[in-house]
């Protein structure tokens, strides 16, 4: 292993030296377009001729595009790597008469571009993300005025920040893309592209382009504090009128503040800069409940906004600009000592603020969202306590754990609450109601059991709804011992005006609002064991709600549609209570639940089924053709179409469907001529915010949601020309969940899944081709198509199940299969290991094998072991994974190691003289990344850092289902009987990367001999009174 490490060091030094010879920092560049000639570094895009008008009298460079066949503009080859900032100032004219795109883009293996079009629509696309990372529909650009665009790249964190400004306004951060690994730009372009036919000729005026070799800031200055001490960061100002008595200080990674009667006690941070920002705080409140106190997270000056939580467990959000509370939440359910996460996100473009709160790392609840706050320009942010009365006599304490403010609007992520009650614990969103004895827990059918509580008590679950505004809730449960038990099942929305849906054990259903009975059904008999489906849907715009019910998943019936003016549901309780005394007590079995933002109408008409096998002589009237010239027609039981030319139009077929609720679509497609054509195939669903999968001629596929953006991307998915592929789309309407899958050969792949959709209301779909490149004409065939109501889940292999064996004995796990059961081979347990020996040369190996439980997805497997008497014994040790084309790690008694891939048909890695000795503790890590088709193998010896010893990419035929570790003695060697001592084996789902070894801290020596400080020193207070300088004594 020492030699392996030495080789790695030598190679690292070589590559570092080579890189030092070939890699340079980005060179600075400035072009102000004053003429008379362009800088020779520019590349001119003018394939059509006449697009470059040239320099104007105003010091700009003019480009006009009247042809729409290719880009017109300028390109600049980038000169190096590292951090950079690229600033461009441009104007656009004659843009309102037709379609066009202006693009400020970076060419790279995974390119990036800023795009602005004639509709005042702005977006940023990331090739690595495979989607738009931001979309701004109405930026407010006025034709002929200046627009300033900045890209600021920080290479070390893979972060690109994009800012835009109009005229002389402050620059606004519109997007931050972090974690980029494949963005290595080689060229910068400023181009115009006219789209479609017509007489319009948009004009681009470039005023300035500057590149600097550093990442410049955009907007509000960032500040992060984890309150680790020992001194308070100087960017905080203590708020204290008690001579410092309120500032208790640091303890256990927290900064503590004690409340003072009649005055603020806390901290203030000055916000530097303007524009969009996001601020968050993590904290605890101690001795707070009933202390007659407020905690405030407030943003001062310029339209005050503050979050106020009081010791009566009420929380509200106040706007000084509006002069009122914009949200209030009574009895939110916080307790002293809870970890509270607060967040305020401000979008300066939309003048919108969002406020969220989370408890004990649970899901964040959107407290308020308010637009039109034109006066909100905060200069300070405060975290304070204010004690306004005696209360219970306690002095409340605020413990600050983390604070962060950064530029850019990062919206409060509203997560739907979805629970299938699979256990083993309740999800964090739930608040248990009732005693522990009533919560029986999870059963083997994937349900959560709760026994009824004696009235007036209640046993059940409560939660805070994810957001204000429209909300849809679906509940599925069953009951036992309920009929005629003097019991009631309630779905209750507590508040000033409580709404309650009550199912009685005598066959009744009542809806009660603020004490008034809105509905009573006397024939709602629920048989024990039947499944009850309930939906409550609140439409905040119309201030009305719908209630639907059904049994045994047979669909929902609308039972009530009612107005609720001025009402807003924020909390939910589901509970069971009884006034009966008979045993056994009624029991509620919770099967599934979802609560999501948005109004989902009760689906009274199911989606109409439709099947087309394309066996008729003409295309069904249920289809609408898109681009008649591209339709090839029916042939051999399939419908064929193409996209003959590169254009702004798509070609294909469209289907309208009727009905509501969940549905499944299957499309069987054959790509006859597709690879290398420069084309996209899309299966799209329209209605509200669209959803699509896009498969391109490079064998990449992605899923995109108009509501949520890019969902997932898979490169090299493995679709073959001429071979059928089945695409499936599943819409789970109660959960607001959409999924795409693809059946390639005999294996299903989940392309993407998104939940919590509130603006997707599908009513049509299409299958289309869109040709974007210059390759040959693409042709596809649709062999079969079906729409059907209901949910047919995408068949997936069960995920890998975690497993660990520490081999402590006294018996082997029954799932291990012995390779050579002889007592001379299977020595057994001792000293916390399992001992194996290979006593003789033979045709068999010695070891352990087991099936991997589950087959789907990525995994990481670690094997810890030690050799005994192995060196020189003429033996191979093998760590193997079987299934499809196997992979094995082979280490022999001559201290050589290799990794073999059957799919590659060769050793993919060979290392001689690894340096493993008998008695050395060793660990091999095997990492399988299924989505990337990649295996990485690591080795650690004697507790040293693990090193990567092999990487295999592009695997298509590796489908692991079995693992073993064995010895095979192939000769007499030195006569030893080799031993393998197994310490542990562990397999876990997902990818656990090999830990990176951090470089040692670089030493620094400073003798302070002068005459100047070293460049590494940064001066704190650079005044001459503070920095006296060097003395004559060195």
HEC assignment per residue over 859-928: EEEEEEEEEECCCCCCEEEEEEEEEECCEEEEEECCCCEEEEECCCCEEEEEECCCCCCCCCEEEEEEEE
Which H, E and C letters describe 195-214, residue by residue? Answer: ECCCCCCCEEEEEEEEEECC
The owner of tokens 């309407």 is 733
> Contact 289/393 with Cβ under 8 angstroms?
no
| Three-class DSSP category at 9 | helix
Q: Which CATH number fits domain 610-789: 3.40.50.1980, 3.30.70.980, 2.60.120.200, 3.40.50.170?
A: 2.60.120.200
> Contact 918/901 with Cβ under 8 angstroms?
no
**Enclosing H/E stretch for 966:** strand 958-969
C-alpha to C-alpha distance for 399 and 258, rounded to whole angstroms: 9
Q: Is the dihedral of CA 1007, 1008, 1014, 1018 positive or negative?
A: positive
C-alpha to C-alpha distance for 79 and 105, rounded to whole angstroms: 16
- CA-nearest of 453, 556, 566 to 499 is 566
The owner of tokens 């029916």 is 634
C-alpha to C-alpha distance for 1016 and 658, rounded to whole angstroms: 69
The residue count of the chain comes to: 1034
| Three-class DSSP category at 316 | strand
> Contact 883/962 with Cβ under 8 angstroms?
yes
Q: What is the pLDDT of residue 602?
A: 85
The owner of tokens 């899309």 is 682
Q: What is the pLDDT of residue 7?
A: 43
C-alpha to C-alpha distance for 211 and 31, rounded to whole angstroms: 9
What is the number of alpha carbons within 13 Å of residue 272 lying toward its C-beta?
Answer: 7
The owner of tokens 């295309």 is 619
Instruction: Tell me the backbone φ, ψ of residue 464, rounded to 5 degrees.
Output: -90, 130
242-285 pLDDT, tens digit per residue, is: 677 789 999 888 999 999 888 899 999 999 888 889 999 999 99
C-alpha to C-alpha distance for 117 and 648, rounded to whole angstroms: 14
| Three-class DSSP category at 592 | strand
C-alpha to C-alpha distance for 39 and 33, rounded to whole angstroms: 9
CATH class, domain 235-407, is mainly beta
Report pTM: 0.63
- Antiparallel, parallel or unpaired: β 571-578 and 453-454: parallel
Q: What is the pLDDT of residue 998?
A: 54
Q: What is the pLDDT of residue 25?
A: 66
User: If you write DSSP's letter for every residue of 798-836 in order, what string do you get?
Assistant: PBPPPEEE----SS--TT-EEES--TTTEEEEETTEEEE
Which H, E and C letters describe 326-361, residue by residue? Answer: EEEECCCCCCCCCCEEEEEEEECCCCEEEEEEEECC
> Contact 417/366 with Cβ under 8 angstroms?
no
Q: What is the pLDDT of residue 14?
A: 38
> Contact 300/279 with Cβ under 8 angstroms?
no
Q: How far is CA 891 from CA 324, 827, 875, 945, 971, in A?
A: 73, 21, 9, 19, 15
Strand partners, 293: 387
Q: What is the CATH code of the structural domain delimited by 803-989? A: 2.60.120.200
**Enclosing H/E stretch for 656:** strand 651-656
C-alpha to C-alpha distance for 846 and 969, rounded to whole angstroms: 9
Q: With a cut of 50, which residues of the chain have pLDDT below it?
A: 1-23
**Enclosing H/E stretch for 8:** helix 2-22
C-alpha to C-alpha distance for 92 and 206, rounded to whole angstroms: 9
Q: Which residues contact 49 (CB under 8 A, 6 or more apart)?
A: none
Question: 199-234 burial string, b = 16+ CB within 10 Å, else e?
Answer: ebbbbbbbbbbebbbebebbbbeebebebeeeebee
Q: How far apart are the first and last CA of the chain?
A: 47
Q: Which residues contact 6 (CB under 8 A, 6 or more apart)?
A: none
The owner of tokens 């091999």 is 924
- Return residue ranges of the chain for CATH 2.60.120.200: 29-212, 235-407, 417-597, 610-789, 803-989
- Give the fold, CATH level 3, of 29-212: Jelly Rolls (2.60.120)
CATH class, domain 417-597, is mainly beta
Strand partners, 317: 307, 327
Q: Which residues contact 30 (CB under 8 A, 6 or more apart)?
A: 208, 209, 210, 211
Q: What DSSP designation does 438 have? A: G
Q: How many Cβ atoms sit within 10 Å of the Cβ of residue 618? A: 7
C-alpha to C-alpha distance for 21 and 15, rounded to whole angstroms: 10
Give percent above pLDDT 70 in the chain: 94
> Residue 277's Cα: distance from chain center in Å?
20
> Contact 24/81 with Cβ under 8 angstroms?
yes
- CA-nearest of 342, 447, 445, 421 to 384 is 342
Instruction: Report residue 618 as tokens.
Output: 């003409």
- CA-nearest of 244, 243, 233 to 270 is 233
Burial class (CB in 10 A: 0-12, 13-18, 19+), 683: buried
């Amino acid at each position: 292993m020492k030699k392996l490490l030495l080789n790695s060091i030598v190679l690292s030094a070589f590559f570092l030296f080579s890189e030092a010879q070939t890699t340079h920092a980005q060179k600075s560049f400035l072009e102000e377009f004053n003429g008379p000639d362009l800088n020779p570094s520019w590349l001119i895009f003018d394939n059509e001729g006449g697009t470059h008008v040239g320099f104007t009298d105003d010091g700009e460079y003019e480009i006009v595009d009247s042809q729409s066949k290719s880009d017109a503009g300028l390109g600049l080859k980038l000169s190096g790597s590292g951090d950079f900032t690229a600033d461009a100032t441009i104007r656009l004219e004659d843009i309102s008469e037709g379609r066009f795109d202006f693009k400020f883009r970076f060419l790279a293996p995974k390119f990036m571009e800023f795009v602005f079009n004639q509709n005042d629509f702005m977006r940023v696309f990331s090739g690595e993300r495979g989607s738009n990372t931001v979309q701004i529909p109405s930026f407010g650009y006025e034709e002929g005025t200046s627009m300033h665009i900045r890209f600021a790249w920080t290479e070390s964190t893979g972060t690109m920040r994009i800012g835009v400004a109009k005229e002389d306004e402050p620059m606004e951060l519109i997007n931050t893309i972090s974690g980029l690994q494949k963005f290595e730009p080689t060229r910068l372009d400023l181009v115009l592209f006219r789209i479609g036919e017509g007489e319009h000729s948009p004009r681009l005026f470039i005023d300035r382009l500057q590149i600097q070799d550093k990442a410049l800031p955009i907007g509000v200055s960032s500040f992060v504090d984890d309150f680790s001490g020992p001194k308070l960061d100087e960017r905080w100002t203590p708020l204290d009128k008690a001579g410092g008595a309120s500032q208790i200080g640091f303890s256990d990674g927290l900064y503590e503040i004690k409340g003072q009667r009649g005055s603020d006690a806390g901290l203030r941070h000055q916000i530097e800069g303007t524009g969009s920002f996001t601020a968050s705080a993590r904290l605890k409140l101690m001795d707070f409940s009933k202390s007659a106190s407020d905690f405030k997270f407030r943003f001062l000056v310029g339209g005050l906004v503050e979050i106020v939580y009081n010791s009566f467990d009420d929380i509200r959000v106040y706007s000084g600009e509006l002069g009122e509370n914009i949200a209030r939440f009574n009895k939110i359910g916080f307790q002293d000592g809870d970890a509270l996460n607060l967040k305020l996100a401000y979008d300066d473009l939309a003048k919108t603020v969002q406020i969220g709160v989370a408890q004990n790392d649970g899901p964040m609840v959107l407290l308020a969202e308010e637009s039109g706050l034109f006066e909100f320009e905060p200069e300070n942010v405060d975290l304070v306590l204010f004690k306004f009365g005696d209360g219970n006599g306690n002095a409340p304490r605020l413990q600050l754990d983390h604070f962060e403010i950064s530029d850019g609007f990062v919206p409060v992520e509203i997560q739907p609450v979805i629970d299938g009650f699979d256990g083993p614990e309740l999800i964090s969103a739930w608040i248990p109601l009732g005693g522990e004895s009533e919560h029986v827990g999870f059963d083997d059918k994937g349900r959560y059991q709760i026994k009824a509580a004696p009235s007036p008590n209640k046993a059940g679950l409560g939660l805070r709804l994810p957001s204000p505004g429209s909300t849809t809730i679906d509940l599925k449960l069953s009951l036992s011992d309920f009929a005629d038990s003097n019991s009631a099942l309630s779905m209750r929305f507590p508040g000033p005006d409580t709404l309650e849906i009550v199912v009685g054990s005598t066959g009744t259903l009542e809806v009660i609002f603020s004490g008034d009975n809105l509905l009573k059904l006397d024939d709602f008999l629920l048989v024990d064991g039947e499944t009850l489906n309930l939906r409550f849907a609140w439409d905040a715009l119309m201030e009305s709600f719908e209630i639907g019910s059904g049994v045994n998943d047979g669909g929902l019936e609308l039972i009530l549609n009612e107005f609720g003016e001025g009402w807003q549901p924020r909390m939910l309780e589901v509970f069971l209570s009884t006034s009966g005394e008979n045993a056994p007590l009624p029991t509620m079995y919770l099967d599934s639940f979802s609560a999501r933002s948005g109004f989902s109408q009760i689906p009274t008409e199911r989606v109409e089924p439709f099947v087309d096998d394309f066996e008729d002589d003409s295309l069904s009237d249920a289809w609408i053709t898109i681009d008649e010239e591209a339709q090839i027609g029916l042939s051999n039981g399939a419908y064929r179409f193409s996209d003959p030319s590169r254009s702004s139009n798509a070609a294909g077929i469209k289907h309208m469907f009727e009905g509501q609720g969940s549905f499944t679509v299957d499309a069987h497609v054959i790509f006859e001529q597709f690879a290398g054509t420069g084309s996209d195939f899309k299966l799209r669903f329209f209605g509200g915010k669209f959803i699509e999968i896009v498969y391109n001629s490079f064998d990449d596929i992605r899923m995109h949601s108009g509501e949520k953006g890019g969902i997932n991307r898979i490169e090299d998915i493995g679709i073959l020309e001429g071979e059928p592929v089945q695409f499936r789309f599943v819409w789970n309407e109660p959960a607001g969940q959409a999924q795409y899958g693809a059946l390639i050969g005999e294996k299903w792949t989940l392309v993407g899944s998104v939940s919590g959709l509130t603006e997707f209301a599908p009513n049509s779909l299409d299958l289309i081709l869109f040709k974007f490149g210059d390759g040959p004409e693409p042709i596809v065939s649709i062999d079969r198509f079906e729409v059907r109501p209901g949910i047919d889940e995408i068949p997936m292999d069960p995920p890998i199940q975690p497993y660990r064996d520490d081999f402590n004995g006294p018996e082997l796990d029954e799932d291990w299969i012995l390779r050579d059961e002889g007592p001379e081979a299977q020595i057994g347990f001792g000293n916390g290991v399992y001992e194996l020996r290979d006593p003789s040369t033979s045709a068999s190996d010695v070891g352990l094998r087991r099936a991997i439980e589950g087959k789907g997805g990525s995994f990481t497997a670690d094997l810890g072991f030690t050799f005994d008497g192995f060196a020189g014994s003429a033996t191979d040790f093998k760590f193997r994974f079987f299934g499809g084309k196997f992979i094995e790690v082979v280490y022999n008694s001559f201290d050589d190691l290799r990794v073999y891939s059957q799919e590659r048909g060769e050793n993919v890695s060979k290392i001689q003289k690894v340096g493993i000795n008998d008695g050395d503790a060793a660990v091999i890590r095997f990492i399988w990344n299924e989505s990337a088709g990649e295996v990485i193998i690591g080795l650690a010896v004697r507790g040293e850092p693990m090193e990567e010893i092999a990487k295999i990419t592009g695997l298509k035929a590796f489908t692991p289902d079995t693992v073993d570790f064995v010895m095979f003695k192939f000769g007499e060697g030195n006569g030893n009987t080799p031993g393998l001592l197994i310490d542990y084996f562990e397999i876990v789902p997902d990818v656990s990367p090999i830990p990176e070894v951090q470089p040692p801290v670089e030493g620094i020596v400073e003798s302070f001999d002068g005459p100047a400080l070293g460049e590494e020193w940064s001066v704190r207070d650079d005044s001459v009174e503070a920095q006296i300088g060097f003395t004559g004594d060195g």
